[in-house]
A = this chain, B = another copy of it.
Amino acid sequence: MPRTTLKDVGARVGVSAKTVSNVVNGTGWVTDEVADRVRAAMAELGYRPNLAARQLRSGRSGMIALALPQLAQPYFAELASQLVRAAHERGITVLIQQTDSDVEAERRILSGIGAPAVDGLIMSPLTLGPADLYARTDPTPLLLLGEQAGASPYPHVAVDNTAAGQAATEHLLGLGRRRVAALGAMESEPRRAADLRLTGYRRGLEAAGLELDERLVLPVVDYQRADGAAAARQLLESDVRPDAIFAFSDLLALGAMHELLVAGVRVPEDIAVIGFDDIEESRYSTPSLSSVSPDTSSLARTAVELLLADPPVPGNHTVDFTIVERASTRRAET
């Protein structure tokens, strides 16, 4: 039996093969009524798109893969949503994979082994380094998010972490705070983004003529709420007394703020707090949390564009950020 074609389906409904193709691919503009009839005809005629054939013809599968460390981290979940939308605007489906920050999982995805055929891979690696990236042999276009991986032959998109770290620190100094703590230093890998933010913090202090007090640099092992809460508990038990905290993620900030508030420390009166990522949760915490807000929507659009650019445009592409001031750093009335 010959395979049912787009044309066969179109003939049954009385529309063009192109219209059927639009329904199949979710492209163009088709009324609900026509789309319903096309789908009914496809079911009736047993139409199955010949993906392998389509791919051979066009060289495209219409799908890209996105590999992220942890969807339960709101920043990554919100970023994934933006990437899905940016790809959808170009008629592209995104298949998301969670690596759980596992080096084996990241290497497998990087190798393309055991993965569906896609037109490109967007990856935010946590454990991969230049050695892995330079050794890659898979020909699928690759775009990296963030700066964890360091140097590589692939394009990557990130916010300027150093400039953002300095801006956050200067925001706190601008409120008249003089003992600004940096919450989120990393003593082991993956530490690259943390180191860049810490450099920004140092520059902010230097520009204000302030000495760095190493006791105000608070290390963590991860960027979750629990890590921020643990650091705040340690702080409360010590005799170190900051008057502001720059946390390297909103989750760290929210975890720390919760512990401070429960202990009776007032935010922002006693300690002003600013986070990093501007996740939606920060708009609804009490007090609402100030944050470094990367232009995630521009990051998503840039990532999809660069991934599909032919020829590829290697090197670092930075996106803008803003400092969003909310109640956690609002200047007290005097």
Partner of A43, one of B24, B42, B135, B229: B135
Contact B72 A81 (CB under 8 A): yes
Contact B137 A116 (CB under 8 A): no
| Complex copy number for this chain | 2
How far apart are the CA atoms of A174 and B170 in the complex, in Å?
50
Interface residues of A in 77-125 (CB under 8 A from B): 77-78, 80-81, 84-85, 88, 93-98, 100, 104-105, 107-108, 111, 113-117
Judge if A25 is at the interface, Cβ distance under 8 Å: yes
Identify 4 new A-B residue pairs, CB closer than 8 A, beyond the known A72-B77, A254-B281.
A39-B107, A93-B114, A225-B283, A286-B286
Contact B62 A284 (CB under 8 A): no
Contact B229 A255 (CB under 8 A): no
Look across to chain B and name the residue whose beta carbon is closest to the beta carbon of A47. B113
Binds B, one of A177-185, A190-198, A209-217, A256-264: A256-264
Partner of A98, one of B81, B107, B288: B81
Contact A42 B95 (CB under 8 A): no
How far apart are the CA atoms of A113 and B48 in the complex, in Å?
7
State which size class the interface on A falls in. Answer: 35 or more
Pairs A–B under 8 Å by Cβ, sample size 19: A25-B114, A26-B114, A39-B111, A40-B135, A42-B111, A42-B113, A43-B137, A63-B116, A71-B96, A72-B74, A74-B74, A80-B98, A81-B98, A81-B100, A88-B100, A96-B98, A116-B117, A254-B281, A286-B286
Distance from A80 Cβ to chain B, minimum over Cβ atoms (Å): 5
Judge if A129 is at the interface, Cβ distance under 8 Å: no
Of the listed residues A78, A80, A229, the one surrounded by the most CB atoms of chain B closer than 10 A to its CB is: A80
How far apart are the CA atoms of A303 and B179 in the complex, in Å?
51
6 nearest CB pairs, A to B: A116-B116, A96-B96, A77-B77, A95-B95, A72-B81, A71-B77
How far apart are the CA atoms of A272 and B292 in the complex, in Å?
33
A262-B284 contact in complex given A98-B84, A116-B95, C-beta closer than 8 Å: no
Q: Which residues of B contact A80 (CB under 8 A)?
A: 71-72, 98
Distance from A17 Cβ to chain B, minimum over Cβ atoms (Å): 15
Judge if A51 is at the interface, Cβ distance under 8 Å: yes
